[in-house]
Structure formats: C-alpha cells, structure tokens
C-alpha cells in the first residue's frame, strides 16, 4: 500500500465522516475559512474540497520540488493550502472569479506559514487569461473544476487549439464538461513537462459519451495515475470523483496506474493499458473485472434490447397494465405473470412486454437484482425498464448468468450514478458475462 505523504490514510478516509467542527480542529484552518462553504445551490456548480482530501491529493504527485504552482479555479483554497504545506518554497498563483475567494485563501496561507502567493480575480476560462497572468509559466498545477457543463464560446476553440486538443471542439456538448476546458486552460499556462493534478467527476472516466475525450487526453498527455476518491469527499454531494495526475508531454502509450483511496491508504495500483484506459478509467471497474473463460456478450448472441416508453407521469395516468421497477416483486424471476392480455401491437412510443421477454431495470438503486422472464400476460413498459429478447435457446442461460454473483457484479461494474444507478444500452450489449 502506498501511504499518504501528509497525513495517515486512515485519518484521511475516516476524517471524511467526521463533523465539520472536528475537521476544522484537525487541520487548524480557522473557523472563518469554513463558513458558507459548498452547498448544492452554489451558482457556479462548485463543491469544496475537504482539507484532508486536499492533503491526500497533493501526495499523489511525484515532483519533490516545485518552484511555481497554479491553482485554477481555486475556490476557498483547500488545494492551495495543501500544496503550500508540501512545497513550502514555491511561488503560488490562485485564480478564481469569486470576489471573496482571496480572503479565505489568505487565511489558509497564513495558517500554513506561506507568503509567496498571488491571487487573480478573473474568469478562469477567459481566452486571454495567459496575457492577464503575464509571462509566468508553472511547473505544477492543481485543480478542482466545478461540476457543470459549459456553453460553447468562440474563445474555446482558441483555448483547445493552444492546448493541442483543437479536435475536441467537435465533441458533442454533452461530453464537453468544464473539467476538459479547465485542463486545456492549464496546459496554456504550464511549462513543458509540468505535473498536473485534476479532480474530475465519474462521467469523464467511465461514461461512454466521454470516450473521445479520454482518447484525446491519453494522446495529448502522459497520464500517470488515476485514483478513485471515496464518496463524500466534497461538501454538499455524494458524487463519485477521481484524481487524474499527468505530465504536460505527449502520451507514450505507457500503462496507466489506477487505484483508489481506502481505509488502508492508496491501494496497490492496477496497471491498465492505454487503449483499455480509453474505454474506462475507474478503479471499481478494473477491481471487479475478472477473466471470463466461458463467457459471452448480449451483442454476440444478437440480443435485441429496447427501452420502455412510458414516463412516470404517463404510467400513473395510464389505464392499461404497466410494468415498472416496483413490479419486480414476485417469488420466482423465471415465471413472472403480467396482468394484461390484449394491448395491441408493440411500436415505438408503446413498448410492450410479452411472454419470453427478459425484463431488466434500467434505472434503480439495485438494478442488478431486478431481472425477470415473462411467463404469462402482457404489459406496457416504463422508460426505467429494458426489454431483452434473445434466441429461445439462450434465454435461461442469460437470466441465470445475469442473476449470478458474477453477473450482478458485472451489472454494477458498468452502471453509473449517485443514489439510483443507470445502465447504458450499449454497455449492456457489450457486457461480458459468464455462462452458468
């Protein structure tokens, strides 16, 4: 196990569960720094970093000596203060749009005994930011971008081009989060070879829609390690987050070290090939992945998977039999009986389950357990249900495999979300499950 540099791993993780008062006393940042920190209503989509996570974060860097450090979108300065404590002789530049950020950062820097600090009030995604910072370039950068999507601006094309990622302007807006634009902006301000650490949401490292973004990062940057953080690492959200540490140099196709922070510290890394890391970068996926020697995929057996059509509101108003995630309550998953008989033909906008169909929850806290085969009757399906049709010779094998311990682990591995989990159709088609 790799130990945290600035604080014990046990304290780092258990500290997340302590009260805010205990955390303040532990880190000695002063009560004023923690007043009014990150809430769900933050207009800029910010969730503030606990000081203990900030210390764990800076322990992930290889660089022993840093002369100039950038914190882009610094907020109230948890990462800044952690960096100041580790690299006590470095010049530190913080940048944030919040007019109140500087006074909180000054308090933290004073508690760390660090004086070489400058703060700039500015839009961190301003295309002219390098000119506003001056000629300064940084050999280390830390960043916790807000959890928001950004509207495309004309200046973004220039930012991406200067960062060497200009082809990303063609990525669909749903995949272009603030995290990518923050990375691109940092690269405009970083020296060649600079070491950079960014906290990113789960979507960037695991969502299918972000595949092109991950490929671009691995080509443009030397991604060294990715560490999955414990849930609850940020005030105001249970969202899953990860740290990506990379160098400002071209990717060389080297394996990426993927690990997580647990009660015993940072886990032993799993080396993942660059091409596999483009597919997924999250530790939980690789930890639960096992070799399937007699496995199959639903795509390989030509399964047909469609999503139900009724919204929750439409289902409540519907006078016909409807099947929803609350319907997985019968004793045997192999002999489900539905109440409808004459519902007309199945068509887009009116998806119907009938005998022989496999039903699986698409959205639910325990979707991996909600699987059944229709034995009798018919029902309209809500949009929280997948209908799976496979050749009759495969039906029993598919259901038993999905309901097995390995199958349920596989469903959890590819599903995503906070609270209620969600399963993507393409991920389900490509899910490799072991034949039972």
User: Which of 288, 321, 339 lies at the terminal end of a domain, its last residue?
Assistant: 288
Residues 282 and 316 in one domain: no
CA–CA gap between residue 53 and residue 37 (Å, rounded): 15
Q: Is 55 helix (H, G, I), strand (E, B) or coil?
A: helix
Kindly give, in sequence order, each residue whose CB lies less than 8 Å from that of residue 291, ignoring residues fewer than 6 positions away: none
Task: Report the pLDDT value the prediction gives residue 45, as an integer from 0 to 100.
Answer: 47
Residues 152 and 36 in one domain: yes
* pLDDT average, residue stretch 409-413: 87
CA–CA gap between residue 109 and residue 121 (Å, rounded): 17
- Please report whether residue 2 resides in a domain: no
User: Which of 247, 270, 288 lies at the terminal end of a domain, its last residue?
Assistant: 288
- Please report whether residue 1 resides in a domain: no
Residues 143 and 226 in one domain: yes
Number of domains in the chain: 2
- Please report whether residue 182 resides in a domain: yes
Burial class (CB in 10 A: 0-12, 13-18, 19+), 329: exposed
Task: Report the pLDDT value the prediction gives residue 414, as an integer from 0 to 100.
Answer: 87
Kindly give, in sequence order, each residue whose CB lies less than 8 Å from that of residue 239, ignoring residues fewer than 6 positions away: 47, 147, 201, 202, 231, 418
Question: What's the residue count for the chain?
Answer: 436
- Please report whether residue 4 resides in a domain: no
- Please report whether residue 352 resides in a domain: yes
Measured between alpha carbons, how far is residue 332 from residues 76, 125, 133, 433 in Å? 54, 55, 65, 21
User: Which of 288, 320, 355 lies at the terminal end of a domain, its last residue?
Assistant: 288
CA–CA gap between residue 249 and residue 194 (Å, rounded): 8
CATH of the domain at 354: 3.90.220.20
Residues 253 and 349 in one domain: no
The predicted-structure confidence for 264-306, as pLDDT tens digits, reads as follows: 778 889 999 998 999 899 998 888 665 444 578 899 888 999 9
Residues 249 and 325 in one domain: no
Residues 223 and 371 in one domain: no
Place of tokens 């038993």: 400
CATH of the domain at 24: 3.40.50.150
The predicted-structure confidence for 180-217, as pLDDT tens digits, reads as follows: 999 999 999 999 999 999 999 888 998 888 888 999 99
pTM: 0.66
Q: Would you place residue 6 in the very low, low, confident or very high pLDDT band (cuts 50, 70, 90)?
A: very low
Q: Would you place residue 138 in the very low, low, confident or very high pLDDT band (cuts 50, 70, 90)?
A: very high
CA–CA gap between residue 297 and residue 220 (Å, rounded): 32
Task: Report the pLDDT value the prediction gives residue 49, as an integer from 0 to 100.
Answer: 55
**Residue span of the structural domain in which 351 resides:** 295-434
Residues 110 and 187 in one domain: yes
Residues 280 and 407 in one domain: no
Which has the minimum average pLDDT: 27-36, 79-88, 223-232?
27-36
CA–CA gap between residue 273 and residue 277 (Å, rounded): 6
* pLDDT average, residue stretch 12-40: 34
Place of tokens 């399937």: 292
Exposed e or buried b for every residue in 383-418, given b needs 16+ CB within 10 A?
bbbbbbbbeeebbeebbbbbbeebbbebbbbbbbbe
Residues 183 and 282 in one domain: yes
CA–CA gap between residue 200 and residue 223 (Å, rounded): 14
- Please report whether residue 117 resides in a domain: yes
Residues 164 and 200 in one domain: yes
Q: What is the mean pLDDT of the chain?
A: 83
Residues 310 and 279 in one domain: no
């Amino acid at each position: 196990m790799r130990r945290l540099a600035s604080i014990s791993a046990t304290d780092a993780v258990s500290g997340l569960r302590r009260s805010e008062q205990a955390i303040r006393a532990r880190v000695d940042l002063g009560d004023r720094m923690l007043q009014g920190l990150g809430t769900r209503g933050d207009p800029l989509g910010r969730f503030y970093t606990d000081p203990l996570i900030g210390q764990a974060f800076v322990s992930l860097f290889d660089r022993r000596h840093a002369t100039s450090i950038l914190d882009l979108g610094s907020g109230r300065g948890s990462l800044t203060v952690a960096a100041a404590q580790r690299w006590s002789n470095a010049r530190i530049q913080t940048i944030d749009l919040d007019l109140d950020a500087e006074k909180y950062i000054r308090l933290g820097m004073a508690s760390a005994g660090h004086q070489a600090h400058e703060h700039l009030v500015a839009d961190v995604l301003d295309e002219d930011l390098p000119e506003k910072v001056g000629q300064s370039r940084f050999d280390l950068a830390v960043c916790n971008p807000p959890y928001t999507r950004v509207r495309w601006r004309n200046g973004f094309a220039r930012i991406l081009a200067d960062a060497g990622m200009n082809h990303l302007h063609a990525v669909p807006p749903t995949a272009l989060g603030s995290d990518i634009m923050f990375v691109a902006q940092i690269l405009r301000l970083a020296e060649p070879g600079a070491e950079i650490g960014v906290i990113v949401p789960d979507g960037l490292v695991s969502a299918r829609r972000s595949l092109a973004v991950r490929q671009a990062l691995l080509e443009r940057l030397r991604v060294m390690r990715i560490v999955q953080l414990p849930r609850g690492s940020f005030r105001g959200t249970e969202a899953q987050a990860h740290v990506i540490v990379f160098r400002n140099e071209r990717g060389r196709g080297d394996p990426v070290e993927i690990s997580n922070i647990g009660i015993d510290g940072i886990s032993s890394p799993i080396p993942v090939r660059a091409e596999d890391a483009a597919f997924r970068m999250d530790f939980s996926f690789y930890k639960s992945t096992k070799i399937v020697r007699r496995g199959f995929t639903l795509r390989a057996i030509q399964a047909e998977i469609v999503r139900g059509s009724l919204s929750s509101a439409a289902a409540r108003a519907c006078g016909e039999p409807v099947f929803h995630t609350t319907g997985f309550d019968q004793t045997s998953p192999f002999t489900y009986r539905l109440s409808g008989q004459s519902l007309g033909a199945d068509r887009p906008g009116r998806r119907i389950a009938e005998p022989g169909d496999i039903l699986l929850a698409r959205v639910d806290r325990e979707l991996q357990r909600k699987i059944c085969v229709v034995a009798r009757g018919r029902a309209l399906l809500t949009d929280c249900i997948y209908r799976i049709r496979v050749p009759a010779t495969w039906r029993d094998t598919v259901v038993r495999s999905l309901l097995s311990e390995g199958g349920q682990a596989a469903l959890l591995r590819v599903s995503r979300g906070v609270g209620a989990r969600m399963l993507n159709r393409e991920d389900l088609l490509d899910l490799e499950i072991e034949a039972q």
